[in-house]
Amino acid sequence: MKKIHALAAWATSLVLFANPANAQDEEAGAPPTSGQGLFEGGKLLLTNGVSSVEGASGGGIATWATIGGLEAESGIGLTGHVTLVELPDYGWQSHGVAIGIANRLELSYARQNLDTRDVGTALGLGEGYTFNQDVFGAKVRVFGDLIYGDPLIPQVSVGIQHKRSRDAAILQAVGAGSAEGTDFFASASKLFLSRSVLASATARFTSGNQGGLLGFGNAADKGRELRFEGSVAYQISRRAVLGAEFRSKPDNLGLGEDDWMDIFAAYALTDHITLTAAYADLGSIATFEDQRGAYLSAQVAF
Amino acid sequence: MILLPLALLAMQDTPPPEVDWDEEFGVEERVRNPETGEFPVDPYEQDNNNAGAHPFAGTNMAQAFGGQDGIRRIAERAVELSRQDPRIAEIFVAHDMVRLKRTLFEQFCYILNAGCDYTGRDMAAAHEGMGVRTSDMNALVENLQQAMQEEGIPFSAQNRLLAKLAPMSKNVIGN
């Protein structure tokens, strides 16, 4: 519950931080700002996606081809997020930032923390042992547009995510081949306006165990595999979206690692703040099965 | 010493007040057509294909948008909102709002299959030299969304119209 309070505090500070800028935008008779300023914005609501658990713009567990931040033109966009997942045996927390440059290049950083709570004792790690990982990401939009242009040509991006676990010693004992790994991915995303549906598909070349929190590959094999992740979302209004996601994962450690899935609702509280709530099924984590629970995320974007 | 410049100033000929400077510099005054209230435009070939999209089949969309009356209110409201929108107001300064409201209405009406012909120019010609950017287009979309929302158009129907307009972006942006 402490984590929930932390999220609330974070979200509140984001609101306080974001509102003055927001109010300024909407001030009647404000001088034209087009062509000026670094954080010019200009994306349609929600079309920057939210922050995925790896920090890149996307859904919650799936990465999209979108570039983070509200910048639609030549300037810079920014996002910050915090995410909590309350599972039966674990507590997931991640936070991060991303910068979008000219709606072309996205650089992101996220920190993931997986608290093993009581399970830590059973796993011989000690109660409350927490796995930590840093994820450094880069994504480039190659062609296409999420909304405009040919309705059958999606926005396509490619990217890498370099992940560095901070638990090298433990991971070796668990049987992981490495505490560092790099994912390569290609994403295609499109908002099909005629159906109010956003669809996104990503192919990821990865060796990450639980995304990398449990290391990469195993002792015998690097374990790099091509895996799929995708999202489908239905736009209810300008501010609200309902959707579902799926992400397939390797099982290099022989611990019965499952694919991830979720159903989510995202709401743009203001032009700059998006809240996401989901029911996430993360399957088996380190032999503890049926890790299903509430996923909450807050994103602030400029 | 100060008297000399003053004296020179006083001796200057003032130009005769009856000079018509517009005529001197060949400035043509544009006159609105008294019937339509629009400024004249250079001739072009009128064609429904200029609307840039095939119309919907059937009458469901026309009904959802409240027929021609509803569509006209939406088109005019979207133009008004955009003209007052500090993000994009400058784009509209030198443009004929009367004509824009009419041609935008015709375009929506034609695409929504509500019984109109589109008599305006094609999207590339209509936006030539404007330097419209993606963010400007998005601002216009937001204003159109607001206009549709005010008319109570269901969101899915709003998006179906936007789906017809979105592919035109290549002829609008960066033109």
Q: Return the pLDDT at B89.
A: 96
- DSSP track, chain A: -HHHHHHHHHHHHHHHHHHHHHHHHH-TTPPP-TT-SS---BPPTTTT-EE-TTSSEESSSSB-SPPSSSB-SSSEEEEEEEEEEE-SS-EEEEEEEEEEETTTEEEEEEEEEEE-TTHHHHTTS-TT-EEEEEEEEEEEEEE--SSSS-TT--EEEEEEEEEEES-HHHHHHHT-SBSEEEEEEEEEEEEEGGGTEEEEEEEEEE-BGGGGTT-BS-SS----EEEEEEEEEEESSSSEEEEEEEE----TTSS-PPPEEEEEEEEESSSSEEEEEEEEE---BTTB---EEEEEEEEEE-
CB contact (8 A) between residue A34 and residue B138: no
- State what percent of residues in chain B have pLDDT above 70: 95
Are B56 and B111 a contacting pair, CB within 8 Å? Answer: yes
Chain A interface mutation, best of B133, B138, B148, B173, highest count of A Cβ atoms under 10 Å: B138
Q: What is the ipTM of this complex?
A: 0.85
Q: Return the pLDDT at A5.
A: 56
Alpha-carbon distances of A119 from A168, A208, A209, A253, rounded to whole Å: 19, 21, 18, 18
Q: What is the pLDDT of residues A147-170, one digit of tens each?
A: 999 999 999 999 999 999 999 999
**Pick from A42, A150, A151: CB nearest B134:** A42
User: Residue B152: is it exposed, middle or buried by C-beta count within 10 angstroms (0-12/13-18/19+)?
Assistant: exposed
Domain B58-172 sits in which CATH superfamily?
A: Globins (1.10.490.10)
Q: What is the pLDDT of residues B22-56, one digit of tens each?
A: 888 888 888 999 999 999 999 999 999 999 999 99
- Please count the structural domains in chain A: 1
- Which of residues A75 and B16 earns the better pLDDT score? A75
**Pick from A34, A43, A149: CB nearest B167:** A149
Q: What is the pLDDT of residues B79-128, one digit of tens each?
A: 999 999 999 999 999 899 999 999 999 999 999 999 999 999 999 999 99
Assess whether pLDDT exceeds 70 at residue A36: no
Q: Return the pLDDT at A259.
A: 97
Q: Return the pLDDT at A295.
A: 98
Q: What is the pLDDT of residues B54-78, one digit of tens each?
A: 999 999 999 999 999 999 999 999 9
Q: Looking at beta carbons, which residues of chain B come within 8 Å of A145?
A: 134, 169
Give the Cβ contact number of residue A52 at 10 Å. Answer: 32
Domain ranges of chain B: 58-172
What is the domain-level CATH number for residue A189? 2.40.160.40
Q: Return the pLDDT at A194.
A: 97
User: Where is average pLDDT lowest: A59-73, A103-117, B16-30, B146-160?
Assistant: B16-30
**Pick from B135, B159, B170: CB nearest A73:** B135
Q: What is the pLDDT of residues A248-283, one digit of tens each?
A: 999 999 999 999 999 999 999 999 999 999 999 999
User: Confidence class of residue A19 from pLDDT cuts 50, 70 and 90?
Assistant: very low
Strand-strand pairing, A240-247 and A76-86: unpaired
CB contact (8 A) between residue B145 and residue A238: yes
Q: How confident is the model over A7-24, as a mean pLDDT?
A: 47
Tokens of A224: 């790099």
CB of A44 within 8 Å of any CB in chain B?
Answer: yes
Q: What is the pLDDT of residues A190-223, one digit of tens each?
A: 999 999 999 999 999 999 999 999 999 999 988 8
Q: Looking at beta carbons, which residues of chain A come within 8 Å of B85?
A: none
Are A164 and A178 a contacting pair, CB within 8 Å? Answer: no
Give the Cβ contact number of residue A11 at 10 Å. Answer: 19
**Pick from B155, B159, B169: CB nearest A149:** B169
Q: Return the pLDDT at B174.
A: 80
CB contact (8 A) between residue B163 and residue A151: yes
Using a CB–CB cut-off of 8 Å, the residues of B that contact A are 86-90, 133-139, 141-142, 145, 155-156, 159-160, 162-163, 166-167, 169-170, 173
CB of A237 within 8 Å of any CB in chain B?
Answer: yes
Owner of token pair 């990450």 = A208
Q: Which domain holds residue A119?
A: 2-301
